[in-house]
Structure 1
Amino acid sequence: MRIARLSFAIAAATLTLTNQAAAWWNDEWTMRKQITVDTSASGANITDAIGTSPVLIRLHAGNFRFAASKADGSDLRFVAGDDKTPLKYHIERYDSLLGEGLVWLNLPNVQPGSKINVWLYYGNQKALAAPDAKGTYDADTVLVYHFAERGIPATDSSAWANNSQDAGQAANGSLIGSGLRLDGKATLTLPATPSLALAEGASFSWSAWIKPAALQRNAAIYSRKDTRNGVVIGLDDGAPFVEITKDGVGQRSSAGVPVAPGGWHHIGVSATPGLITLYLDGAPYATLNASLPALNVVAKLGGDTAIAVPAVTPEVASEPAAAAPAADGTAAEGTATAEATAETTAPAAPVVPAPVAPAPVAAAGFIGDIDELQISKNARGAGFIKFAATQQGPAPSKLLSFSVDEETSSWLSGYFGILLKAVTLDGWVIIGFLGLMALLGWIVMIEKHGYLKRQSRANDIFSPAFRNLGEDITAMVEREGLAVLTGENARENVKKHAKARAYVQKNSSLCRLYETGVAEIRKFVPEGDNGTTLNAEAIASIRATLDGCVIREMQALNRQIVVLTLSIAGGPFLGLLGTVIGVMITFASIAMTGDVNINAIAPGIAGALMATVAGLAVAIPALFGYNWLTLRIKNLTSDMQAFVDEFVAKIAVTYGKGRPSPVVARMAAE
């Protein structure tokens, strides 16, 4: 009962695990892949709050099977880790021929120091496209430019439709797909819409990837100004800065370590009332104790906006401000006359000029590339900006990791399916040969097990009957064999099962030895014996015949066992041969393509090792089966040898020289 309960528990646990592993969001999608977003110490190591954030999923031939997806990627679906909740996403670029995909995915409530699992489903040729660019970003994101357009104004991917007012020059091979190329002269104009309007002291976030072409003095990347107020984000001799102009007075953040030209860098600005923080590559770079001015004008990307600063005339300290001049200029002339009269009638008073606000200096146009511009009407935290810089950057990041592809409703799912798909043709040839060896080995083991089992059972029936024969060792043949089994139960068993005698005669090696021995005795002592005895030479002749019969029985027992020995000895070596050939082909392919990375090497090596696994799968069962069968063959052989010794001893006792034969003894008794 205890064993039954344990078996039931194991079966239930296995069924539960199977059901969990088989969980599938939608059976119409045949493929899926798990993506892990790791903000813990083992990943991106982000400790500040992040919140809901878009994440860039870069798909390439090393982490995604484009051949199993639709050509346009319209069957892509992203599902949360619970395998139930679909997530919002949109595709910036998808090219199945080049093996490149750029997908933006909305991750709600990303926590620092944690891991988030997301399922990527694909492989449904009937699926319709379901991107949701507006749902990919939260409501505070008011502008997102991917710069994926060519010859048309940049399109806003957020929900606010803040498209640019002009088209820029596309930059091929940018950081994330295509970007915007700026030459220091042409600019991209951002609209003046209510969603982009800034109130005084408003919260604000701005971020973009930049690639400066050279060191420039006071170059504006982003500029938004009116006559007295403005915001400028740019580079000064490679040092990022943010400049705030309020009522004509400018403030600029302090300069830090400059960035070198020719490389991509992430610039982020987060503004709150009284404090503006500048970020470089996700880390704080500089701060400015200032607030944003009120702005509701167009902005420029790649250049500065012009500011009309009125000239300020010095004023006399002893006189009040002059009235505004009339249209005909009479008031102005009167004023000049009064001043002249005062000069002749009173001592000259010193002229004290009023304080003049320094006019902001116009910045030069930025020369370089820009990609992925995002503007928000709230202040993004340090964790959010670091998260964006880490997962969008050019360098490989520990933030995202991709698992293997899984298939639904197939025994080829998971790792095993990936391995099988990576096996080359030569590997399949060797695996096929090993499969044939395995099939033959199992056939031999099953057939031999049944043969030995039947022989052992038949010998167990025959042996007690033989041992109870007494001195009349030919009685079992003379009385039709099994009819002489001792005990009532044995006799009743024979009566009920008429085929038992045929079963023993067919399967018992001891019975065959017995019948051979009786046949040899009758050569020397025919029926109607008149007292013939057997000398030593006759008994030796009978024993020699029995020994020959034993050898033939042993040959029958060991027949086809050589198949198992070949499987044990040859299987691993054939598998090793397939592995070596597969590894050679993998490295030759890498040498030809020049693609040296773990994603290019791992499938080929893993597929090559499948040949070794196949060889071991052939040899290991054959090894266990061979040892089990040889043990049983050894036992049956020992039984036959013991039977020959016992049978010859009975012959010597019954027909030995100087002893009357059983026939003579019966005649004397009659």
Structure 2
Amino acid sequence: MKTHLIPALLLALSAALPATSEAWWNAEWTQRTRITLNTTDQGLATQEAASAVPVAVRLHSGNFDFASAKEDGSDLRVLAADDKTPLKFSLERFDSVNELAVLWVQLPSVLPGSDKNQFYVYAGNSKVAAGEASPAGGFDAALVSAFHFSDITKPGADHLGSPGREAGLVVVEPNGLLAASLKLEGRAVQLPVADKPLLDAAQLSLSVWVKLDDVASAKLLQWGGLQIAVQAGQLRASVGGSELRGGELTVGRWTQLGLRVGAGKAALLLDGAVVADAAASALPSLGSTLSLGDGARGLADELQISASARSNAWLAISAGAQGAQGKLLSAQREDAAAAEGESHGYMGILIKNLTADAWVVIVICGLMLLIAIWISVAKGLLMGRIDQANRAFLKRFRDATDNLLHLEQGGAHAESPLFRLYQAGVRELAKRKAGQDGAAPLSGASMDAVKASVDADYVRENARLNGGMVMLTIAISGGPFLGLLGTVVGVMITFAAIAQAGDVNVNAIAPGIASALLATVAGLGVAIPSLFSYNYLASRIKNTSSDMQIFIDEFITRAAELYGAR
């Protein structure tokens, strides 16, 4: 095979690869995590758009590289789906030692029925000074108070309050819903909350997460004329003189409770869905202290109060983003090097999620494919030259009469196996002085010896024709098994990483498994063209081998007629 064919092959292979894009907000940030909100039926289905929604993003070792980020998270930046627009966010927790973080991101808009609601969390810029952070603002202006219960100042305690406020020390559970959670021990916890913005707006949206050890009876929340309670597992609420009942609480399960008042109506919500509503003439008197957890035992977290009647979609998305087992949010880690080679469509997702073992298998399969292509092209060209040379020599041989032993003169047939077999026969006849003046006719034993010598050369010619074909058989049989090995190991690694990270949603599993299957595709991509090529070349070699056998018989017969004993 000529050397100029190698660049042509490499050019053809590179042309077959997908086009690449190089979208990256800032080269000084070396990693990013892509967050996707799926509002289709496969995630959390919504029927209307929601604006200014705060979503809680959990970062862990499975979707974020804490080793490359600043210890205090000061290099975190959040960008919208266009990879250009900065989004407001705030950190609730950033623990680089245990590799856990929670940040609140305010999304300008979340579209319904879409899996393209995306944004990016960037990190990995060592040039950012310690303590230098992006302007905070994970919530909109309608938020009155948000209690995260995560600002731990000493073991077992948390300073509570909205910006500019503090309350007394209370007992917290370090590992709660998002980060730390408030422990409910039967006594009411008093929280300071300003009610003036709510009364001025005459609207209210309130939500709190609870995980109860007992659902027999408890006043979960009491704030002036507002109350949310549980009685025999059933959720109850009162707004002034309006009573609402609906929904059931389950022991030991995180559940979001919500209350919305505005436009003459009050609604009770459970996990973002309305379970009861009633007419409410006005927002009742509230006071400046909210009581939480009177008679309840368990955990409470993420109490948010807004001076706005949030829409159903807003409340559903907010609840889905905070829930630990929700299908709304998925996170996938990326880095700058991978993004430079990111391809359009699904192939880019597969390539970005390939594990090291899958890459090894794919590289080996690629080398096997190049070898198979090399052998197929070289052998195909060789068989073409052999066929042409055989036809030319066979015509001269059959046209010869008394000069049968002198066909080497007047023609070059170096590519012809038939010509080389002819040369082997002529050499044996020359040893026995066949055709020379005064030479005795050859006996039957002599002709058998000549045929045996030509047969030996036939075996060597046959081996030459089949040279390299074993590499095609290796590609055919070994490629699929090698690809299967890469897939099995890749799936094992994917499940091990998911088990370690604790992220069990399908969006975390699917990319890794799909990428692992790419190794099997690579193995089949080697085996299938190699199989076609092998069968084609084997048939041509078989035909040439048959021609050689026929020629040997024809040559020996003519030699016996001319030089054998009568």
After superposition, the C-alpha distances for 1:212-265 in whole angstroms (9 at most, x for unaligned) are 565687837242xxxxxx443332646432343xxxxxx252444664665433
Q: How far apart are residue 533 of structure 1 and its match? A: 5.6
8 A Cα contact 1:222 1:299, kept in partner: no
Structure 2 residue identity aligned to 1:397: G
Q: How far apart are residue 142 of structure 1 and its match? A: 2.9
Q: How far apart are residue 365 of structure 1 and its match? A: 7.5
User: In structure 1, what is the equivalent of residue 402 of structure 2?
Assistant: 471
User: In structure 2, what is the equivalent of residue 241 of structure 1?
Assistant: 237
The one of 420, 426, 430 equivalent to 2:355 is 420
Other structure's SS at 2:281 match:
coil
Q: How many residues align?
A: 537
User: In structure 2, what is the equivalent of residue 154 of structure 1?
Assistant: 160
Structure 1 residue identity aligned to 2:54: P
8 A Cα contact 1:30 1:408, kept in partner: no
8 A Cα contact 2:149 2:301, kept in partner: yes
User: In structure 1, what is the equivalent of residue 165 of structure 2?
Assistant: 163
Residues 1:221 and 1:132: Cα distance change in structure 2 (over 3 Å): farther
Structure 2 residue identity aligned to 1:88: K
2:551 pairs with 1:643: yes
Residues 1:618 and 1:112: Cα distance change in structure 2 (over 3 Å): closer
User: In structure 1, what is the equivalent of residue 182 of structure 2?
Assistant: 180
The one of 145, 153, 171 equivalent to 2:147 is 145
8 A Cα contact 1:576 1:612, kept in partner: yes
Q: How far apart are residue 291 of structure 1 and its match? A: 0.6
2:268 pairs with 1:272: no
8 A Cα contact 1:149 1:155, kept in partner: no
Q: How far apart are residue 54 of structure 1 and its match? A: 1.2
Structure 1 residue identity aligned to 2:228: G
User: In structure 1, what is the equivalent of residue 539 of structure 2?
Assistant: 631
8 A Cα contact 1:203 1:271, kept in partner: yes
Instruction: Name which of structure 1's ranges 169-178 and 431-440 shifts more when overlaid on structure 2.
Output: 431-440
* TM-score, normalising length: structure 2: 0.75
8 A Cα contact 2:46 2:113, kept in partner: yes
Q: How far apart are residue 37 of structure 1 and its match? A: 1.7
Structure having greater relative contact order (Cα 8 Å, sep ≥ 6):
2
Other structure's SS at 2:456 match:
helix
User: In structure 1, what is the equivalent of residue 204 of structure 2?
Assistant: 204
8 A Cα contact 2:350 2:514, kept in partner: no
Matches within 5 A, 1:563-574: 564-565=472-473, 568-569=476-477
8 A Cα contact 1:39 1:399, kept in partner: yes
How far apart are the structure 1 equivalents of 2:17 and 2:99? 38
How far apart are the structure 2 equivalents of 1:277 and 1:602? 38
8 A Cα contact 1:207 1:266, kept in partner: yes
Structure 1 residue identity aligned to 2:355: L
8 A Cα contact 2:83 2:120, kept in partner: no
User: In structure 2, what is the equivalent of residue 291 of structure 1?
Assistant: 282
Q: How far apart are residue 34 of structure 1 and its match? A: 4.3
User: In structure 1, what is the equivalent of residue 340 of structure 2?
Assistant: 409
Residues 1:470 and 1:613: Cα distance change in structure 2 (over 3 Å): same
How far apart are the structure 2 equivalents of 1:16 and 1:565? 26
Q: How far apart are residue 198 of structure 1 and its match? A: 2.3
User: In structure 2, what is the equivalent of residue 498 of structure 1?
Assistant: none
Instruction: Name which of structure 1's ranges 433-442 and 146-155 shifts more when overlaid on structure 2.
Output: 433-442
Q: How far apart are residue 178 of structure 1 and its match? A: 1.0
User: In structure 1, what is the equivalent of residue 7 of structure 2?
Assistant: none
How far apart are the structure 2 equivalents of 1:78 and 1:280? 30
User: In structure 2, what is the equivalent of residue 554 of structure 1?
Assistant: 462
The one of 372, 393, 398 equivalent to 2:327 is 398
Q: How far apart are residue 518 of structure 1 and its match? A: 2.5
Residues 1:172 and 1:509: Cα distance change in structure 2 (over 3 Å): same
Residues 1:575 and 1:111: Cα distance change in structure 2 (over 3 Å): closer
How far apart are the structure 2 equivalents of 1:401 and 1:583? 19
The structure whose Rg is larger is 1
8 A Cα contact 1:172 1:178, kept in partner: yes
How far apart are the structure 2 equivalents of 1:583 and 1:403? 17
Structure 1 residue identity aligned to 2:407: M
After superposition, the C-alpha distances for 1:156-180 in whole angstroms (9 at most, x for unaligned) are 3xxxx35335444333322221123
Matches within 5 A, 1:200-349: 202-212=202-212, 219=219, 221-223=221-223, 230-235=224-229, 237=231, 239-244=235-240, 251-256=241-246, 259=249, 263-284=253-274, 285-292=276-283, 298-302=288-292
How far apart are the structure 2 equivalents of 1:435 and 1:103? 43
Other structure's SS at 1:635 match:
helix
8 A Cα contact 1:205 1:270, kept in partner: yes
Q: Root-mean-square deviation (CA), in Å?
A: 4.8
Residues 1:112 and 1:564: Cα distance change in structure 2 (over 3 Å): closer
8 A Cα contact 1:208 1:370, kept in partner: yes
How far apart are the structure 1 equivalents of 2:470 and 2:250? 73
Instruction: Name which of structure 1's ranges 398-407 and 528-537 shifts more when overlaid on structure 2.
Output: 528-537
Matches within 5 A, 1:433-582: 452=383, 455-456=386-387, 458-459=389-390, 462-477=393-408, 481=409, 484-485=410-411, 501=412, 504-505=413-414, 507-525=415-433, 529=437, 539-559=447-467, 561-562=469-470, 564-565=472-473, 568-569=476-477
8 A Cα contact 1:63 1:402, kept in partner: yes
After superposition, the C-alpha distances for 1:14-54 in whole angstroms (9 at most, x for unaligned) are 7996245x544445555555443222334323335533311
Residues 1:172 and 1:23: Cα distance change in structure 2 (over 3 Å): closer
2:300 pairs with 1:370: yes
Structure 2 residue identity aligned to 1:409: E
User: In structure 2, what is the equivalent of residue 88 of structure 1?
Assistant: 88
How far apart are the structure 2 equivalents of 1:549 and 1:236? 97
Structure 2 residue identity aligned to 1:87: L
Residues 1:154 and 1:657: Cα distance change in structure 2 (over 3 Å): same
User: In structure 2, what is the equivalent of residue 126 of structure 1?
Assistant: 126
How far apart are the structure 2 equivalents of 1:578 and 1:153? 51
Structure 1 residue identity aligned to 2:110: V
Other structure's SS at 2:340 match:
coil
How far apart are the structure 2 equivalents of 1:120 and 1:163? 32
How far apart are the structure 2 equivalents of 1:601 and 1:183? 38
8 A Cα contact 1:55 1:106, kept in partner: yes
How far apart are the structure 2 equivalents of 1:422 and 1:565? 24
8 A Cα contact 1:78 1:118, kept in partner: no
8 A Cα contact 2:353 2:512, kept in partner: no
User: In structure 2, what is the equivalent of residue 327 of structure 1?
Assistant: none
Instruction: Name which of structure 1's ranges 548-557 and 561-570 shifts more when overlaid on structure 2.
Output: 561-570
Other structure's SS at 2:19 match:
helix
How far apart are the structure 1 equivalents of 2:126 and 2:48? 42
Residues 1:134 and 1:75: Cα distance change in structure 2 (over 3 Å): closer
Q: How far apart are residue 149 of structure 1 and its match? A: 0.9
* Amino-acid identity (%): 36
User: In structure 2, what is the equivalent of residue 665 of structure 1?
Assistant: none
Other structure's SS at 2:146 match:
strand
How far apart are the structure 2 equivalents of 1:99 and 1:264? 23
8 A Cα contact 2:38 2:44, kept in partner: yes
Residues 1:416 and 1:585: Cα distance change in structure 2 (over 3 Å): closer
The one of 303, 310, 315 equivalent to 1:385 is 315
Residues 1:286 and 1:468: Cα distance change in structure 2 (over 3 Å): same
* TM-score, normalising length: structure 1: 0.65
8 A Cα contact 1:437 1:618, kept in partner: yes
How far apart are the structure 2 equivalents of 1:146 and 1:79? 24
Q: How far apart are residue 451 of structure 1 and its match? A: 5.4
Other structure's SS at 1:474 match:
helix
